[in-house]
Amino acid sequence: MNYGYFDNINREYVITRPDTPAPWANYLGSPEYGAIISNNAGGYSFVKSGANGRILRYQFNSEDKPGRYLYIRDDETKDYWSASWQPVGKDMSTYKSECHHGTAYTNMIAEYAQIKSEALYYVPLNKTYEVWRLKLTNTSDKTRKISAFAYAEFTNENNYEQDQVNLQYTLFITRTYFKENKIVQTINENCNNAVNGSTGKERFLGLAGASVTSYNGDKAAFLGRYHSYGNPIAVENGMCDNVLNYNSNGCGALHSALTIEPGETKELVFVLGQKNNDDADVILKQYEDISFVETELQELKDYWHSQLENLNVTTPDSAFNSMINTWNAYQCFITFIWSRAASFIYCGQRNGYGYRDTVQDIQGIIHLNPELAAEKIRFMISAQVDNGGGLPLVKYDHNAGHEDTPDDASYVKATGHPAYRADDALWLFPTVYKYIGETGNKAFLDEVIPYANGGEDTIYEHLKRGIGFSMERLGDHKMPAGLHADWNDCLRLGKKGESSFVAMQLYYAMTILKEYAEDKKDSEYIAYLTQIQKELGDTIQKECWEEDRFVRGIKEDGQVIGSKKDIEANMWLNPQSWAVISGLATKEQAELALESVHRELNTPYGVRVMAPSFQKHAFEGALALLFNPSTKENGGIFSQPQGWIILAESLMGHGNRAYEYFRESSPASQNDNADVRLLEPYVHGQFTESTESPFEGRSHVHWLTGTASTVMVGCVEGMLGLRPDADGLLVQPAIPSEWKEITIDKVFRGKKITIKVENPDGAEGGYKEFYLNGEKMDKNYIPAESLKDVNEVVLKM
């Protein structure tokens, strides 16, 4: 069963049935002013921090309520409904609706009782307030008396936990006022610096384009006793009773009574934000000319669509196209901007960026906006400690050069991160490599960036210290020590335990840095890297290769983890994919390991992170045991590694396998399986339940996941084979045999390239001929200096 479709032209996902199996969300604004909205208008807003700047209340782990509600009432029949299907929830046989989730806007179109409504929600570009535009059209042939109500449930305190639980305090600190055309809510209004230096706050919900007929600033007065969001007494009565809150829960509720002639459309603009009265007036004034909304909407679309323009692919699979051209790309931007700040699962409590998550997130947008990526790379490098390790959590108020580190009790107390993780800084290597490849900006390596705790160095030297960090912390077998954890937060091998995954990351980092060292003719360092990489490679081969797989690691006490002999967890995904990505595996090992993955870990919904799940034979430190079998790190289909296995298969020229894995795990490919998957068919989640779960195929933790970037990289560098390096672009697709032709439009260093891949014989990798602007090339490589402004490339497979 499906609940909607991809509109690729408008870059929208259109929900045609509102009773989706979960709230299907969209992101508006940015964490400066962030808003999350579901297809039933559930959601919340905040200023700067999901946890400390919450202005709209939302009940987590509940029923997608409350939200930005717009109610419509026929004042003659007294029937009422909402512009989103919920909260009133009219019978779907008479209530028709479409929710258009677009790039940073959501538009809900509904028709009921011969009134067509359009509720458009957005945060104007670079602004810190939100707009709800309600359009009402009378599609009947008689004059209609219609009441429109807007309802916003303000928190009583910006800290969302305080708002939810510290009621003996928070219920008594707010008031609402009706001022002209708006409800103004004050918090601690007498407080201006008088107590603890704190200042009061003001929020508002205002109306432009019509006059306010009645209002409420008190939640209980608007909803009524024993009523709820689905049947507020004010809407039932067709009139608010103008009660404001004092020592109770506040809200903004505005009612406007309208007369709409046949065929006529009336528009109202509600604006919400955390602003004082004067600023709110200035903001509202702009919307007196209602066409301003269209201007702002166009601005938003132009901005976002321009962000997505650098790559456009046309393949025979529209799910692949929708994901790569719009939705996966858009999700990459959302994870890049929002990190793990706020969703319907993340309540916003994190006070910083996870190091590895953020450095990984950057990878997803490099091909679309490399300079935006570069800014964040610089920022993350400034969070590298002078010992070469990354700060596990980079605080939102990170002050490069002046930070404490995991060696300081103060850092541990402030962040809850007790120690360094083995992998954090190693993610910098592929990320920097991708940026330099996309731009050709080798001078990036010479930029000087501070260390988190003082001192500064060029990026090149920062990278050297990254290698040094691992090399100074080797375990007994001379592989990098596991420290607190590696990519897998649930795997505690012990401080001196060793992770094969990190060893492979380090091996790969050395390859990347050697390329830069060669460019810089840093001969002493090249010799050093060559030697340590050889030793590391030999060690991994000796300690970690077992017949047809690489093991997952070695515990501090010498126990091998992920051995074929183990009863549980005897096959792990990441060491197999990374053995290929890192270039460590021989061809024979790569083929064997990838085949083992397919045989032992593949399921109809993607590849399990390991199997069998821990149940009775977990080792001490296998925290995955905390989860039910086939869930998350305990044998679930962790989504992030799907990107790595797609990449690994592609690097081996296995287009059919790469595509098989893409289809199994891609949200768009499961558009018709929404009742099983539950999550939005346009975004990746964190994981999918696998075979031992009674709910195999159900996915969880929407939107904010590193999966966006890894799958993007797996598809773009892997399947499409677009692999830039400092000097040009390698084109090496690995596509399913059934794709006879694909076209890729890419902007590369400001030049347009159209790549036509012709595959008449049904190959899945490799190429026979390669042409650049009609000239046959001896390799499938485009030297950057040969590019014209507009280029035609043909690759015959």
Query: Which stretches of the chain bind ligand IFM, using CB under 6 A?
Result: 354, 356-357, 487-490, 633
Nearer to ligand IFM (CB atom), residue 144 or residue 356: 356
Least gap, CB of 717 to ligand IFM (angstroms): 20
Q: What share of the chain is helix, strand, coil (3-state, %, to 5)?
A: 30, 30, 40
Q: How large is the C-alpha radius of gyration of the chain?
A: 28
Nearer to ligand IFM, 453 or 707 (CB): 707
Residues 112 and 89: beta-carbon distance below 8 Å: no
Measured from each CB, the residue nearest to ligand IFM is 489
Q: Is the CB of 357 or the CB of 404 nearer to ligand IFM?
A: 357
Structure tokens at 678: 């539950």
CB of 665 to ligand IFM, least distance (A): 16
* HSE value, Cβ hemisphere, 13 Å, CA-based, for 709: 27
For residue 320, what are its two tokens? 């692949």
Return the number of the residue (90 or 356) whose C-beta is nearest ligand IFM: 356
**Whole-number minimum distance, CB 88 to ligand IFM, in Å?**
38
Q: 458 with 446: CB under 8 angstroms?
A: yes
**HSE-CB for 47 with a 13 A CA cutoff:** 17
Distances (CA, A) of 390 to 417, 447, 449, 467, 662: 12, 18, 14, 12, 31
**Residue 383 CB contacts under 8 Å (≥ 6 apart), including other chains:** 353, 355, 390, 391, 394, 398, 400, 403, 452
Q: How far is the CB of 382 from ligand IFM (least distance, A)?
A: 20
Q: Let me know: does 139 contact 114? Beta carbons within 8 Å.
A: yes
Q: Helix/strand/coil (H, E, C) string of 38-75?
A: ECCCEEEEEECCCCCCECECCCCCCCCCCECEEEEEEC
Distance CA 717, CA 723 (A): 5
Cis peptide before 604 (omega within 30 of 0): no
Rounded distance between C-alpha atoms, residue 72 and residue 147, angstroms: 6
Distance, CA of 756 to CA of 106 (rounded, Å):
35
Q: How many CA atoms lie within 13 A of 512 on its CB side?
A: 29
Residue 282, sorted as left (phi over 0), alpha (psi -120 to 50) or beta, turns out to be alpha
CB closer to ligand IFM out of 390 and 494: 390
Closest to ligand IFM by CB, 354 vs 629, is 354
Pairing of strands 96-101, 80-82: unpaired
DSSP class of residue 693? Answer: S
Give the distance from CA 670 to its chain's centroid.
Answer: 19
Residue whose CB is less far from ligand IFM, 69 or 687: 687
**Measured from the CB of residue 300, what is the shortest distance to ligand IFM in angstroms?**
30
Shortest reach from residue 705's CB to ligand IFM, in Å: 8
Single-letter residue type at 504: M
Catalytic residue among 75, 489, 519, 522: 489
Phi and psi (nearest 5°) for 469?
-55, -45
Contact 552, 501 (CB under 8 A): yes
Q: How many CB atoms sit inside 10 A of residue 379's CB?
A: 16
Shortest distance (Å) from residue 490 CB to ligand IFM: 6
Nearer to ligand IFM, 184 or 711 (CB): 711
Listed in sequence order, the residues at least 6 apart from 521 whose beta carbon sits closer than 8 Å to its beta carbon are none
Task: Decide whether 380 or 772 has the Cβ nearer to ligand IFM.
Answer: 380
Q: Can you name the residues that pair with 152 across neighbouring β-strands? A: 252
For residues 393 and 753, which CB has a smaller minimum distance to ligand IFM in the complex?
393
CA dihedral over 241, 243, 248, 249, signed as positive or negative: positive
- Active site annotation includes 489: yes
* Least Cβ distance, residue 633 to ligand IFM (angstroms): 5
The minimum distance between CB 334 and ligand IFM, in angstroms, equals 16
Q: What is the 3-state secondary structure (H, E, C) of 424-480?
A: HHHHHHHHHHHHHHHHCCHHHHHCEEECCCCCEEEHHHHHHHHHHHHHCCECCCCCE
Minimum gap (Å) between residue 591 Cβ and ligand IFM:
27
Say which residues have a Cβ less than 8 Å from residue 587's Cβ, sequence separation at least 6.
none
- Least Å distance, CB 797 to ligand IFM, is 35
Q: Which is nearer to ligand IFM, 3 or 353 (CB)?
A: 353
Q: Which is nearer to ligand IFM, 369 or 500 (CB)?
A: 500
Backbone phi and psi for residue 546, each to the nearest 5 degrees, phi listed first: -135, 90
Using alpha carbons, list the distances in angstroms from residue 643 to 355, 636, 649.
Answer: 19, 15, 10
Distances (CA, A) of 438 to 432, 616, 727: 10, 48, 9
Least distance to ligand IFM, CB of residue 432, Å: 19
Q: Active-site positions?
A: 489
